[in-house]
């Protein structure tokens, strides 16, 4: 998987890579184009695995970040999930759930991409059971998650002071619409254990 295609500043290059990947996987998808505050964004919705008469889970990964952890790793993780679904054909779920993978844009711009996603006609016409945001992958091999986030707080050290900065994530937006949501990330096992057992947050962020 060419993670370097996501790990760049060129948003059009990332979009071309997503389109190329979906074409190689022979998957039908819809592009949702939106404009806000001078920015033209594009969400990519994969339709193949949705179920019209079953509950569906929306799985998102935003591709507009410029970091490997935030969120090239999450975007590549969604690609691997899509590859698995192509092979498994959702047999593991015994046709009880549908899955709607979405590569979202403009998460770094006050999560406006997900706000537009929730207005999409596909999500309006089928039952949505929950949401998973793949955001923060590539550091460590242990998987953790938070559910129903109200705010995500980044801790920035400035002149020896800790300044909490509230950040609304994609899970926050889904939760505001009454949809259960989980924010999934990876960390080294020691950091994840410290977070779970002793509420010790990594140096750069906290909830």
The whole-angstrom separation of Cα 27 and Cα 37 is: 31
pLDDT recorded at residue 119: 96
pLDDT recorded at residue 3: 57
The whole-angstrom separation of Cα 43 and Cα 116 is: 9
**Residue 198: cis peptide before it, omega within 30 degrees of 0:** no
| Phi, psi for 158 (deg, rounded to 5) | -140, 115
pLDDT recorded at residue 46: 97
Q: What crossing angle do the helices spanning 11-24 and 72-88 adopt, rounded to 10°? A: 10
**CB 134, CB 60: distance < 8 Å:** yes
pLDDT recorded at residue 1: 52
Q: Is 102 exposed, middle or buried, given 0-12, 13-18 or 19+ CB atoms closer than 10 A?
A: buried
Summarised one tens digit per residue, pLDDT across range 22-50 is: 999 999 999 999 999 999 999 999 999 99
For the four alpha carbons of 166, 161, 206 and 3, in that order, the dihedral sign comes to positive
The whole-angstrom separation of Cα 75 and Cα 199 is: 28
**Helix, strand, or coil here: 70?**
coil
pLDDT recorded at residue 145: 78
Ranges of residues in the chain with a pLDDT under 50 are 158-160, 206-207
**CB 37, CB 81: distance < 8 Å:** no
pLDDT recorded at residue 148: 59
pLDDT recorded at residue 60: 98
């Amino acid at each position: 998987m060419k993670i370097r295609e996501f790990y760049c500043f060129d948003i059009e290059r990332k979009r071309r890579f997503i389109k190329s990947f979906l074409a190689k996987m022979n998957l039908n998808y819809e592009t949702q184009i939106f404009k806000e505050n001078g920015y033209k964004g594009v969400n990519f919705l994969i339709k193949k695995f949705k179920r019209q008469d079953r509950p569906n889970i929306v799985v998102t990964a935003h591709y507009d970040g410029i970091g490997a952890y935030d969120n090239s790793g999450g975007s590549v993780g969604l690609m691997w999930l899509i590859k698995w679904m192509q092979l498994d054909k959702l047999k593991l779920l015994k046709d009880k759930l549908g899955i709607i993978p979405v590569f979202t844009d403009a998460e770094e711009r006050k999560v406006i991409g997900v706000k537009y996603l929730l207005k999409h006609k596909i999500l309006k016409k089928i039952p949505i059971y929950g949401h998973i945001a793949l955001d923060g992958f590539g550091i460590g091999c242990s998987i953790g998650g938070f559910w129903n986030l109200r705010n995500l707080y980044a801790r920035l050290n400035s002149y020896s002071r800790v300044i909490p900065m509230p950040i609304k994530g994609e899970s926050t937006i889904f939760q505001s619409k009454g949809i259960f949501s989980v924010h999934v990330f990876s960390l080294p096992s020691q950091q994840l254990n410290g977070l779970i057992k002793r509420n010790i947050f990594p140096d750069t962020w906290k909830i």
